Structure 1
Amino acid sequence: MRTSKEGFVFIYEKIKNHPVFKNNSTRKQLPISHQLALTLECLGSVGKFVQNFQVGQGTVIGITRRVIEAINYYESYYIKWPNHNRRREIYQVMKEEGFEGCIGFIDGTTFPLYQKPAWQGEVFFNRKKNYSLNAQILCDCDKNVTAITTGWPGSCADSMVYRNMGLFNNPDRFFDKGQFLLADSAYPLNDHLIPAIWAPAANSHINTDFNFCLAKSRVQNEHAIGILKGQWASLIEMRLQLHGKDDIVQYVNWIKACCILHNMLSQLKDSWAELSEE
C-alpha cells in the first residue's frame, strides 16, 4: 500500500460518508477502513491478487468497485483544468524556462492488459506488441494531473486520441489567448500545442537547441506518469476482464481513481520524493 498513515486517514475521511457504503441488505460490509486498505493494496499491486486479506475474489471485486466509486466522486475536485488564476501561475513558472504562454504538458501512455481482451482483442494490440489502453495525460508544472482521456484501444495513435479531445475541438474553453501545451513530436502543431520538431528539420542547430529545451521542460509530464504508475502499480498490468464495451467503464474508473489519488496525495506530498527517483 503506497501511502503513509496520514495519507490513508486523509482518503478515509474523504470517502467514509459516501452512500455506496450504506448497506440495506442482511449481509454486512467489511468496515470501510478495511475496504479502503484492500482497494489501495489492489491499486498498488502488479501481477498478483491480494494475498493478505482473507476474502474471496468476488468479494474483492465488489469492495474495489465500491471504494473506486467513492474515490471517483471527487474527480471534479482533484482532476480539474487550471482556472484563469492558476493558468497565470503556471504561465509565470514556464516563462522562466523560456516558454512564455505554456500552461501544461500532454503526453500519451499505455496501460497494458494482462491478457488479450475477449472483445475486439486485435484493436487493443499496440506497436509494443502487447494489449493495452491508450491514455492522454495532461499535467502542470507541479506534476498534478489536470486532465485525462482514456479507454481508447492501445492501437490508437496519440495524435488521433488528442484530436477527439475537447481541448482540441473547443480550445476557447481551455486556453486564453497565447496559451499552449508542450508535447512530443507525435502531436500536431496548432495555436494551442507546440510539439517537438521532426527530423530532418530537427537536425538544424537552432531546432536541436529548441527540442532540447522543450524536452527538458516536458519531462515533468514523464515524471508525473512515472510517479502515477510507480505508486499505483496495477496500471503496469491491469487485471480486469474485458468481455464487452461496458467493461471499458470499469477500466476507466480504475485509472481515474488512481489519478485522483495521485493528485490527492500530492497535496500532502505523500510518498512523492522516493517515487520520483525510481
Structure 2
Amino acid sequence: MANILFSDSDDSDMELLALLSDSDSETDSEADVRRRSRARRIKRVNYMQSLDDAEFTFRFRLSKPLVNALLIQLMPLVRVTSTRNHGVSPLHQLLLTLRFYALGTMLISVADFVGVSTSTAGRIIRDISSAIASLYDEYIAVHQQSAEKFYRIARFPRVLAAIDCTHIRIQSPCHIIGEEFRNRKGYFSLNVQAICDADLRFMNVVARWPGSTHDATIFNNSVLRAQCDAGLFGNRWMLGDSAYPNRSYLLTPVLNPVTEAEQRYNEAHIKTRNTIERTFGVWKRRFPVVALTLRLSLPKAQAVIIATAVLHNICRNYNLEELSAQVDLPPEDNHFVNINSEVTDVQQRAILISNYFQ
C-alpha cells in the first residue's frame, strides 16, 4: 500500500484573505454578485473540441477517451464550489492537473492555463492528485502473470517482479528535518521504491521515505517484505540490485562472479531486472513532474508521485503509445547503489546457479 498524507492547512489562509479583500461597506449579496460576474468573464477553452487527438494526448499525456473515463471515476471525489475555485469544472480541474504533470513547472504557469489564481491551482492539483491516488488499489497490485514474459527477456525462470528505488527531487521540507531528505548525490529527494511486471506496470509503490534512507531499509520496513516472508507469492522471485539483501524470494547479482555459471546468472539477472529501470524511464518521460523538482509540500509531493504512478498504469493497461517529454529533462541520474551489508541468505541463489545456469 502507498502511505501518503494529505493536508488542508493552506485553505484557511485563502479564506482569511478572501474575507479581508471584501469592502466593509459591501454586503454579502453584493460580494456574491461581484464574484459571479468575475467568474462569468473567465472563458475557458474546450480542449476536447479545439485539439485533435494527437495534440491533446501530447499536451495532457492521456488520450481523450482515457480522460473521459478517468473523469467519471473522479466525479464523486471532485468538489465544485464557485466561491472557492471560481467555478472550475471537474474537466478543467483534471486538465489543469494533467498539464502540471506534463510540464512540472511553477504553479503560476498552469494557473494562467485555465484562468485561476496560483493558490486555487495549488488546491486543485492537491485535490485531483489525492483523488487519483485514492485509485491505487484498483490499478496497482501484485500479480503473478508475468513469469513467462520475464522468461522471454533472458531465460530467467520464475520471476515475479523487478524491484528498485528512484530518487524524486523535492524542495527542502524545512530546516528542522530537511537534512534527512538530502541523498548521497547532495540534493533533496524522496527515495521511492517500486516493483514492476514485464509489461512495465507498477505493482507496488512506496513514496514516503526521505532521500537519505537506504534501499534495504525501505524494503525491510515495507508491507511487501512482510508479504514475501509470509510466502504470499509462492515460489516466485523478485530481482533486485546489490542494494537489497539476498533472500529466498529476492535475488541479487553475484558481486564477484568466478564461474561461467555465475556470469551467465548475472547477465540474465541484469537484462531481466532492467525492466524496472525502463518503467521508471517511461513514467518520468510521460509525466516530467516526477523527473524535475517537486516544489510542493511533502503531502502534495507524495500525492503527485502516487497519482502519476496510477496514471502510468492506466496508460499501460490501454496500450497508450509511449510519449517523449514535453520539456527538457535533466540527464539520467543513475541510481547510486549503496551495497547492502546485511548477512544474506544465498542458498536459493546458489541452487539456482548450480542447477539452471551451469
Which category of TM-score, normalised to the shorter sequence, fits these structures? 0.7 to 0.9
After TM superposition, the structure 1 stretch with the greater mean CA deviation from structure 2, 147-156 or 52-61, is: 52-61
Determine which structure has more spread, i.e. the larger CA radius of gyration.
Answer: 2
The aligned residue for residue 231 of structure 1 is 286
Identity of aligned residues (%): 25
Alpha carbons 1:141, 1:220 under 8 Å: kept: yes
| 1:172, distance to aligned residue in structure 2 (A) | 5.1
- Per-residue displacement from partner, 1:36-56 (whole Å, max 9, x unpaired)? 110001122234332533221
Q: Is the counterpart of residue 81 in structure 1 residue 147 in structure 2? A: no
Q: 1:32 aligns with which of 81, 87, 90?
A: 90
- The 3 A distance-change label for structure 1 pair 36 and 208 is same
Aligned to 1:41: 99
Shift of 1:93: 2.6
CA contact (8 A) 2:129 2:307 kept: yes
The question of whether the paired residues in 1 share the 8 Å contact of 2:169 and 2:294 is answered with no
Are 1:98 and 2:155 an aligned pair?
Answer: yes
Match of 2:274 in 1: 219
Once the two structures are TM-superposed, the CA of residue 22 in structure 1 deviates from its matched residue by 5.1
2:321: which partner in 1? 271
Equivalent-residue separation in structure 2 for 1:262 and 1:203 (angstroms): 40
1:110 aligns with 2:157: no
What is the TM-score of this pair, normalised by structure 1?
0.85
Query: Does 2:338 align with 1:261?
Result: no
Rounded Cα–Cα distance in structure 2 between residues aligned with 1:47 and 1:27: 20
Distance 2:123 2:90 in 1: 13
| Structure 1 contact 144–266 (Cα < 8 Å) conserved | yes
Could you say which residue in structure 2 is the equivalent of 1:70? Answer: 131
The one-letter code sitting in structure 2 at the alignment partner of 1:257 is: A
> Which is further off, 212-221 or 44-53?
44-53
Match of 2:350 in 1: none
Establish whether residue 125 from structure 1 lines up as the match of residue 182 from structure 2: yes
- Choose from 63, 74, 77 the match for 1:4: 63
Distance 1:266 1:27, change over 3 A: closer
Letter of the 2:101 counterpart: L
Q: Which residue of 2 aligns with 1:20?
A: 78
**Deviation readout 1:122-165 (Å, 9 max, x if unpaired):** 11111111110001011001111000111111011111111111
Give 1:245's aligned residue.
none
Question: Residue 285 of structure 2 contacts residue 324 of structure 2 at CA under 8 Å; is this kept in 1?
Answer: no
Gapped regions of structure 1 (runs ≥ 5): 243-247
Q: How many residues align?
A: 262
C-alpha contact 2:80 2:89 (8 A) present in aligned 1: no
SS in 2 for 1:134: strand
Q: CA deviation at 1:232?
A: 1.1
Shift of 1:168: 1.6
Matching of residue 175 in structure 1 with residue 223 in structure 2: no
Q: What is the DSSP-based 3-state SS (H/G/I as helix, E as strand, rest coil) of the residue aligned with 2:78?
A: helix
In structure 1, distance between residues paired with 2:245 and 2:67: 41
The alpha-carbon distance between structure 1 residues 228 and 191, as it changes in their structure 2 partners (threshold 3 A), is: same
CA–CA distance in structure 2, aligned partners of residues 132 and 152 of structure 1: 9
Aligned to 2:301: 251
CA 1:160–1:116 in structure 2 vs 1: closer, same or farther (change >3 Å)?
Answer: same
* Contact 1:136/1:161, CA 8 A, preserved across alignment: yes
Q: Helix, strand or coil for the counterpart of 1:253?
A: helix
Computed over aligned residues only, the root mean square deviation of the Cα atoms, in angstroms, reads 2.3
After superposition, the C-alpha distances for 1:63-120 in whole angstroms (9 at most, x for unaligned) are: 11221122123111001121xxxx1x3223334442222111101100011x332141
Aligned residue for 1:202, secondary structure, equals coil
Question: Which residue of 176, 191, 194 maps to 2:251?
Answer: 194
Asked whether the equivalents of residues 7 and 270 of structure 1 are also in contact (C-alpha less than 8 Å), the reply is no
Post-superposition offset of 1:241:
3.9
